[in-house]
């Protein structure tokens, strides 16, 4: 089974964290929550709460098989943290899975890993995706090499399906 890191900060979109988390846990994968501080209680836009297992400064890309980035307001906070960007870059360099939904690809933009890839996202950041060098596709889920992206909570079933397909190989 895979070791999966969720990158999280306050104001994440609850369902985009809750549903993939539950699906991966039920599939037997080990889950680690990484935030800006260790042991921090993070609260979603609708009240879900998670406690971080590690600070991004403590996390190493070699420790994880995948990184999942839920959307909402959290990616805006995460994308300006050098340790988060380092971690995502390390995971990408190893061609391990990086998945982001809604605003999650903002972290990928800041890590400069979308050039020459196909991607989707919340429509409000589609121009940012294009400016990062990706080809924007208005689809429920887009798989481009080791990167999986999705648009909104309504696309979660397809997003989760693609993540599980990749991790259960």
Task: Provide DSSP, 61-120.
Answer: GGG-SEEEE--BTHHHHHTT-HHHHHHHHHHHHTT-EEEEETTTHHHHHHTT--TT-EE-
**Number of domains observed in the structure of the chain:** 1
Domain that holds residue 159: 3-167
pLDDT, one tens digit for every residue, the chain (169 residues):
999 999 999 999 999 999 999 999 999 999 999 999 999 999 999 999 999 999 999 999 999 999 999 999 999 999 999 999 999 999 999 999 999 999 999 999 999 999 999 999 999 999 999 999 999 999 999 999 999 999 999 999 999 999 999 998 7
Local structure of residue 143 (DSSP, 8 states)? E
Beta bridge partners of residue 97, listed in sequence order: 66
Gap between the Cα atoms of 42 and 127, Å rounded: 29
Residue carrying structure tokens 């690809």: 105
* Residue 73, domain CATH: 3.40.50.880
Q: Which residues are catalytic?
A: 102-103
């Amino acid at each position: 089974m895979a070791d999966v890191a969720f990158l999280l900060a306050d104001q994440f979109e609850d369902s985009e964290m809750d549903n993939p988390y539950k699906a991966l846990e039920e599939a037997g994968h080990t889950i680690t929550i990484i935030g800006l501080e260790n042991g921090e209680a993070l609260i979603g836009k609708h009240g879900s709460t998670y406690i971080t297992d590690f600070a991004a400064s403590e996390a190493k890309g070699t420790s994880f098989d995948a990184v999942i980035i839920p959307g909402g307001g959290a990616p805006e906070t995460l994308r300006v943290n050098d340790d988060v960007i380092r971690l995502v870059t390390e995971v990408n360099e190893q061609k391990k899975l990086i998945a982001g939904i809604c605003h999650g690809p903002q972290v990928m933009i800041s890590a400069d890993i979308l050039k020459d890839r196909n991607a989707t996202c919340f429509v409000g950041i589609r121009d940012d995706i294009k400016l990062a060098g990706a080809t924007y596709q208005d689809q429920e889920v887009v798989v481009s090499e080791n990167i999986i992206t999705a648009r909104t909570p309504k696309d979660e079933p397809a997003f989760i399906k693609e993540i599980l397909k990749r991790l259960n190989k």
